[in-house]
Amino acid sequence: MHRALEFAVGLLFGWGLLLSGMTDPGKVLGFLDLFGAWDPSLAFVMGGAIAVGFFAFALAKRRTRTFLGGALHMPTRRDIDKPLVVGSLLFGAGWGLAGFCPGPGIVSMAAGQPKAAIFVAAMVAGMLAHQLLDHASSRSRAGQPR
């Protein structure tokens, strides 16, 4: 039952991305083109998402269990470190170059957009590269004398 509900919520999220235009790279790039032919319509989508998230997090902070009964783990870190900054810059560069971010990229790929399939393949390759580099870095740090 949990998996069916998770799948349904994922479908609803994907449908919302399609409906809002977040899966259209041209619309996204138009939103990011602040000094050209700027299209502010996605600002309303983001504003709606921020409003929903604000109330959802306020509710979640008062709970210890999810609606499905699992443990609720809220993030506790608030520091800004090098991996966060580098990851944010890479995310922004990818979003600006491709017009996709991860969620809309996956939805667009599932809808049959070839550019999205290339984006998702590059995203997965980047995630695997990060995992390999992080694993190698952890091993080298573990072998260093203190």
pTM for the model: 0.75
Phi, psi (degrees; rounded to nearest 5) at 99: 80, 10
- What span, in angstroms and rounded, lies between the C-alpha atoms of 30 and 24? 10
**Token pair 């550019």: residue:** 115
Helix (H, G, I), strand (E, B) or coil at 8: helix
At 10, the amino acid letter reads: G
pLDDT digits (tens, 9 = 90+) for 18-52: 888 888 998 888 988 889 889 998 888 889 989 99
Please report the pLDDT score of residue 2 as a whole number.
82
Query: Per DSSP, what are the bridge partners of residue 71?
Result: 65
- What span, in angstroms and rounded, lies between the C-alpha atoms of 146 and 139? 14
